[in-house]
Amino acid sequence: MHLSPSHLASSRTRSDRPSVAVIGAGPGGLSVAMLLAGAGLDVTVIESQKVVGGRTRRLEAGPYAFDCGPTFFMMPYVLEEIFSAVGMRVSDFVELKRLDPMYRLLIGNDRGTAPTQIDTTGDLQKMAAQLERVQPGDGAAFLRFIADNRKKLSLMEPILRSPIRGLADLMTLDAMKVAPVLRPWESIYTHLTRYFKSEESRLAMSFQSKYLGMSPFECPSLFSILPFIEYEYGVWHPIGGCNALVAAMAEACTRLGARIETASPVERITFSGRRATGVVVRGEERRFDHVVVNADATWALKNLIPAELRRSDQQDKAIDAKRYSCSTFMLYLGMDGEIDLPHHTIYTSTKYRQNLADIGEGRLSEDASFYVCNPSRLDPTLAPAGDSALYVLVPTANTKSAKDGAPIDWAKAAPSLREETLARLESVMGIPDAAKRVKAEIMFTPDDWRAQNINHGATFNLAHNITQMLHWRPQHRLQGFDNLWTVGGGTHPGSGLPVIFLASEITSRLLCAECGVKSPLDAPLARRQAPAALEPDRDGMLAGV
């Protein structure tokens, strides 16, 4: 589903209901708009791009289509909660396919031998057998890891679903139950050494920290739930790409009476004292009772809110002193012919630690890790018959990172990195004549991400180190302001589609309570807990979705 601006207008007039402006039509903005519109509020979503989706939007190069950002979809039950809360179903809009293998891992080594190949699967016994072949004992360790993290996620879920506004919100019974399993002083890699003997098994269970734009040697061990979620609930592909999910949410918003305005950049938020009163779009001041920010959180603080109203920890210098995720170098390639690769393939560098250090210190690596998404084998909607739409991601430094000297000059670096990456599609991924087969292309560098109003081009938002989580992130009700709210990867619980949807549940609940209306999430239709591990039917469709 691809919505043009003409499809996004609603003819319903303004009313006396509380009015809400949502800045940004990314997954957080659209999901919170669904819930607020479902509660009966008067909602307007204002998006700067020509299409909805933000970093989850659809890109097109001639007849080829691509996801701009996320290509993995996990925990579909969370999105189903939001749709069911407003009387709809995900399957009314999007077809979901469960992947098996979930992805192929090519784990490089410094021994001069071929990478270790692991085709990951949700069949836990088969996955354990693969790791057992890598290192005796690692198969049993994998099953123990899954069991331990099943318990960890069940204990963490109440925290992921709750606003954390300060230490008082962490002094609850739920928080005290989860505290013993978090081990905040451990990195995820250190945590995994207590399970797995082999480096390959440890990397297979820790590369997921890159979903947060972080190194597994720094990412807190609580994020060991990320690989668990993959194995427990699966990795899914929405037909049309993850952008089909945001298009579905946009359609659901309009059915609920919300308005969505594209190609309408918000210039600033207006205030009366410290109370948000509206937004300015193309020089016109528009008044709203509440404003929800789904733009990149730290960019919005710096650019949409007057400095004189911000607290000392919200001033530009303090914001820029925070730690940020990595960025990404992207190639979106329309390819001649079919590509013989699984849906997802991840290659980890032969010099993995050095590659991560280079990213953190603002350098390019000789042998960088990279990721390829090849959805055309499953999804015929993205490329002409017989061709492929290939998505290539190389993690890189953000535009702030530089240990010594200036950040990377992408105007000079991009052409050579492009050529190198195309060559490695052939040498590492085994795609014959990869460079010669490119028929259409889009390239993004960290400078391009920064130009899209992403602070420092950090595509995964603020880093998720322990002092930038929970109430230390910009909060759902933005600290120091009235009637001003945030949603998205920049707030608690953090980055990634499932937790962004959880953030929208938290923000919408708080805002509904402020307006004195009942949240649709409190209706009987809304499922409140994760189901048992979801199983696909014989056609690979998600049962019940």
Q: Do 368 and 255 share a domain, yes or no? A: no
Q: Do 77 and 169 share a domain, yes or no? A: no
**Confidence bin at 527 (pLDDT 50/70/90):** very low
Mean pLDDT of 67-85: 96
pLDDT value for 529:
40
Q: Do 9 and 41 share a domain, yes or no? A: yes
pLDDT at 494 exceeding the cut of 80: yes
Q: Do 284 and 385 share a domain, yes or no? A: no
pLDDT at 543 exceeding the cut of 50: no
pLDDT value for 173:
66
Q: Do 197 and 306 share a domain, yes or no? A: no
CATH of residue 289: 3.50.50.60
Q: What is the mean pLDDT of the chain?
A: 90
Residues above pLDDT 90, as percent of the chain: 80
Q: Do 416 and 306 share a domain, yes or no? A: no
Q: Do 350 and 291 share a domain, yes or no? A: no
pLDDT at 188 exceeding the cut of 80: yes
Least confident of 70-84, 386-400, 521-535: 521-535
Q: Specify if 107 maps to a domain.
A: no
Q: Do 146 and 219 share a domain, yes or no? A: yes
**Confidence bin at 464 (pLDDT 50/70/90):** confident
**Confidence bin at 169 (pLDDT 50/70/90):** low
Cα angle 42, 46, 52 (rounded to 5 degrees) comes to 115
**Confidence bin at 539 (pLDDT 50/70/90):** very low
Q: Specify if 303 maps to a domain.
A: yes
For the chain, the domain total comes to 3
pLDDT at 171 exceeding the cut of 80: no
Structural domain of 242: 5-97+238-321+464-473+489-499+516-522
Q: Do 146 and 257 share a domain, yes or no? A: no
Give every CB contact of residue 109 below 8 A, 6+ residues apart in sequence.
Answer: 115, 116, 199, 200, 350
Q: Do 331 and 393 share a domain, yes or no? A: yes
Q: Specify if 544 maps to a domain.
A: no
Tell me: the pLDDT tens digits for 31-57? 999 999 999 999 999 999 999 999 999
pLDDT value for 73:
95
Q: Do 12 and 36 share a domain, yes or no? A: yes
Q: Specify if 163 maps to a domain.
A: yes
Last residue of a domain, one of 233, 265, 280: 233
pLDDT at 104 exceeding the cut of 90: yes
Q: In this structure, which amino acid lies at residue 406?
A: A
pLDDT value for 2:
40
Q: Specify if 118 maps to a domain.
A: no
Q: Specify if 539 maps to a domain.
A: no
CA distance 235 to 197: 26
pLDDT value for 172:
77
Q: Do 424 and 348 share a domain, yes or no? A: yes
Q: Specify if 350 maps to a domain.
A: yes
Residue 392 β-bridge partners: 331, 372
CA distance 32 to 302: 23
Q: Specify if 509 maps to a domain.
A: no
Torsion of CA 423, 424, 427, 429, to 10 degrees: -130
